[in-house]
A and B are shown apart, each in its own frame.
Chain A
Amino acid sequence: MIRIHLASVFVDDQAKALDFYTRVLGLEPRQDIDMGDGNRWLTVGNPGAPGVELLLEPSAHPAVGPFRDALVGDGIPATQLAVDDLDAEHERLTGLGVTFVQPPMDFGPVAVAVIDDTVGNLIQLAQLKG
Chain B
Amino acid sequence: MYDALAAPARRAILDVLTVRDDQSLFEITTRLLGDHGISLTRQAVSQHLAVLEEAGLVSSRRHGRTRLHTLDTGPLREIARRWPTKESS
On A, residues with C-beta under 8 Å from B are 69, 72-77, 101-103, 105, 107, 112, 114, 116, 122
Q: Flag if A101 contacts B30 (CB, 8 Å).
A: no
Most buried by B among A73, A103, A107, A122: A73
Give the complex CA separation of A101 and B20 in angstroms: 12
Give the complex CA separation of A101 and B26 in angstroms: 11
Q: Mark B11-49, 1 if CB is under 8 A from A, else 0.
A: 000000000100111110011001100000010001000
B65 close to A (CB within 8 Å) = yes
Q: Flag if A74 contacts B26 (CB, 8 Å).
A: yes
Q: Flag if A75 contacts B64 (CB, 8 Å).
A: no
Q: Flag if A102 contacts B34 (CB, 8 Å).
A: no
Chain B residue contacts of A74, Cβ below 8 A: 24-26, 42, 46, 66-67
Chain B residue contacts of A75, Cβ below 8 A: 23-27, 66-68
Q: Mark B48-73, 1 if CB is under 8 A from A, else 0.
A: 00000000000000001111100000
Q: Flag if A72 contacts B66 (CB, 8 Å).
A: yes
Q: What is the interface size of chain B, counting residues whose CB is below 8 A from a CB of the partner? A: 17
Contact of A73 among B30, B31, B66 (CB under 8 A): B66
Q: List 8 A-B contacts (CB under 8 A).
A: A69-B65, A74-B42, A74-B67, A75-B25, A76-B42, A102-B23, A105-B30, A114-B27
Q: Flag if A73 contacts B65 (CB, 8 Å).
A: yes
Across the interface, name the chain B residue whose C-beta is closest to A77: B26
